[in-house]
């Protein structure tokens, strides 16, 4: 099958999608809305990169995205795909829907439905239009699926749902450092790998860490990443004399992330909203207990206190309290959590085992009889 894969970034997430789609003997054209540059990773032989004539920022509004419709129509005409796979919803998904091309599969990136969909009437319209115009929908969690169903009635046969899971190299042994040594001390090394953007509440994380650092200055934080809030992050660290306690290595290649998780004892994320977080799954595969925001998608993976803690969104005090509880785990407790988390991700988050579900949806929506069986996606308000 000829697939046009249309997204707004060249992240490691998209690398994994492109590699797996091509591995099912599909010919794939990758179009990145936001960049003229080729992706920073090698592409399989069956994947070709399209260089767009114009680009838009990831923050583009649906109205701004309408100017890209002609470009996408030209790509469709030139490459003659048998299926267009597009997302996030209000940018690439909306543009693809406006072309009128079918069959169209829309992928949610989580925040597009959980944070952006109800910004205002423009975003609500784009969300509904894209979903209603699609033939299939892919998401990574019940929380995202439920959000989509509030806009349109999507038949179960037109949905593929599984975590943007882990590649085989992550599904190995638990973090030996965490299991064998942490818990025998009164301090711990925390790790956060989320972007330094407002939606991830990095200010909440920093304030919470500062609180527990004042109790024990041997606690450490591996704050991996970068983002638009880098100035505020640096200012906070310097103002509180935390330069030796908060390590900021910047953006880390995906190939090195496993090593960083294995250097830590406890994972933490203060994100305001999430689908299934790959960072959380990677941490669980490394045997780390997790401290995450108490939101529906995280409750699908973390059960307090069996394998981690759920903290109140936006509350440094609650996060600090959960961090202190995690530091106090005994070696036996930590070992039990490590085994439990590894078992959870091995069972539910294996990328190789789950991906055929998406390929089956490709076949379903591309079948000649598609749309004639009364199983179409409908407007939820109709």
Shared domain for 146 and 30, answered yes or no, is yes
Q: For the segment 202-218, what is each residue's pLDDT rounded down to a tens digit?
A: 999 999 999 999 999 99
Residue 182 has pLDDT above 60, yes or no: no
CA distances from 324 to 96, 288, 343 (A): 47, 15, 25
One domain, residues 118 and 212? no
**CATH, residue 30:** 3.40.50.2000
Q: Please state the rounded mean pLDDT for residues 85-91.
A: 98
Check whether residue 58 and residue 123 sit in a common domain.
yes
C-alpha closest to that of 136 among 354, 365, 363: 365
227 and 363 housed in the same domain: no
Quick check: 178 pLDDT over 60? no
Q: What percent of the chain has pLDDT over 90?
A: 87
- Supply the DSSP symbol for 16: H
332 and 215 belong to one structural domain: yes
With CA atoms as reference, report the closest residue to 143 among 322, 296, 18: 296
Measured between its terminal Cα atoms, the distance across the chain in Å is: 34
Instruction: Note whether 303 and 371 are same-domain residues.
Output: no
What pLDDT does residue 185 have?
60
One domain for residues 115 and 152: yes
What value does the mean pLDDT of the chain take?
92
Query: pLDDT of 24-75, one tens digit each?
Result: 999 999 999 999 999 999 999 999 999 999 999 999 999 999 999 999 999 9
- Rounded to whole angstroms, the Cα distance separating 36 from 260 reads 31
Position 374 scores a pLDDT of 45
Q: Specify the number of domains making up the chain.
A: 2
How much is the average pLDDT of 343-372?
A: 89
pTM to 2 decimals?
Answer: 0.88
> Are 105 and 4 a contacting pair, CB within 8 Å?
no
pLDDT in tens, 214-231: 999 999 999 999 999 999
Q: Are residues 117 and 92 in the same domain?
A: yes
- Residue from 109, 157, 108, 154 nearest 133 by CA: 154
Question: Which structural domain range is residue 212 located in?
Answer: 168-348
Phi, psi at 312, each rounded to 5°: -65, 130
Whether residue 114 is found in the same domain as residue 212: no
Quick check: 160 and 138 in contact, CB under 8 A? Answer: yes
Cα–Cα nearest to 268, from 320, 211, 198: 320
State the pLDDT at residue 382. 36
**Burial call 29-52: b when 16+ CB within 10 Å, e when fewer:** bbbbbbeeeebebebeebbeebeb
Examine the domain organization and report whether 69 and 189 are in the same domain.
no
Assess contact for 354 and 107: CB atoms under 8 A. no
For residues 280 and 254, which has the higher predicted lDDT (pLDDT)?
A: 280
* Same domain? 211 vs 261: yes
What local confidence, expressed as pLDDT, does residue 277 receive?
93
What pLDDT band is residue 381 in, cutting at 50, 70 and 90?
very low
Average pLDDT over residues 365-376: 65
Query: What pLDDT score does 373 carry?
Result: 46
Look at residue 376 and tell me whether its pLDDT is greater than 90: no
Our CA dihedral for 279, 281, 286, 291, rounded to 10 degrees, sits at 70
- C-beta of residue 279 within 8 angstroms of C-beta of residue 140: no
The residue that leads in pLDDT, 301 or 380, is: 301
Span 187-199, average pLDDT:
95
Average pLDDT over residues 164-173: 73
pLDDT over 80 (residue 275): yes
Give yes or no: residues 329 and 361 share one domain: no
Task: Label residue 254 by pLDDT band (50, 70, 90).
Answer: confident
Question: For residue 368, what pLDDT is reported?
Answer: 77
Here the tokens at position 149 are: 């169903």
């Amino acid at each position: 099958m000829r697939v046009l894969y249309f997204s707004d970034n060249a992240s490691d997430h998209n690398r994994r999608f492109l590699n797996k789609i091509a591995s099912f003997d599909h010919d794939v054209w990758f179009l990145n809305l936001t960049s003229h540059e080729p992706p920073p990773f090698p592409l399989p032989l069956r994947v070709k990169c399209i260089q767009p004539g114009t680009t838009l920022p990831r923050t583009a509004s649906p109205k701004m995205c309408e100017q890209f419709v002609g470009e996408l129509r030209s790509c469709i005409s030139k490459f003659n795909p048998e299926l267009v796979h597009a997302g996030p919803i209000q940018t690439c998904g909306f543009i693809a829907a406006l072309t009128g091309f079918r069959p169209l599969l829309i992928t949610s990136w989580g925040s597009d439905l959980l944070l952006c969909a109800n910004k205002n009437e423009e975003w609500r319209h784009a969300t509904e239009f894209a979903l209603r115009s699609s033939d299939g929908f892919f998401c990574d969690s019940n929380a995202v699926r439920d959000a989509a169903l509030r806009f349109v009635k999507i038949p179960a046969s037109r949905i593929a749902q599984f975590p943007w899971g882990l590649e085989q190299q992550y599904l190995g042994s638990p973090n030996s450092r965490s299991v064998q040594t942490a818990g025998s001390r009164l301090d711990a090394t925390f790790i956060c790998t989320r972007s330094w953007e407002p939606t991830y509440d990095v200010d909440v994380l920093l304030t919470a860490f500062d609180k527990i650092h004042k109790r024990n200055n041997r606690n450490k934080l591996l704050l991996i990443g970068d983002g638009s809030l880098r100035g505020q992050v640096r200012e906070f660290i310097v103002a509180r004399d935390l330069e030796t306690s908060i390590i900021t290595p910047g953006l880390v290649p995906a190939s090195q992330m496993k090593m960083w998780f294995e250097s830590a004892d406890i994972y933490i994320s203060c994100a305001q909203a999430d689908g299934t977080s790959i960072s959380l799954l990677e941490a669980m595969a490394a045997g780390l207990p997790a401290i995450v925001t108490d939101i529906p998608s995280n409750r699908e993976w973390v059960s307090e206190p069996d394998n981690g803690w759920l903290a109140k969104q936006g509350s440094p005090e609650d996060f600090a309290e959960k961090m202190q509880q995690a530091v106090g785990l005994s070696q036996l407790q930590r070992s039990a959590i490590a085994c439990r988390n590894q078992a959870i991700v091995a069972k539910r988050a294996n990328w190789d085992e789950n991906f055929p579900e998406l390929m089956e949806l490709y076949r379903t929506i591309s079948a000649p009889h598609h749309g004639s069986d009364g199983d179409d996606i409908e407007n939820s308000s109709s």
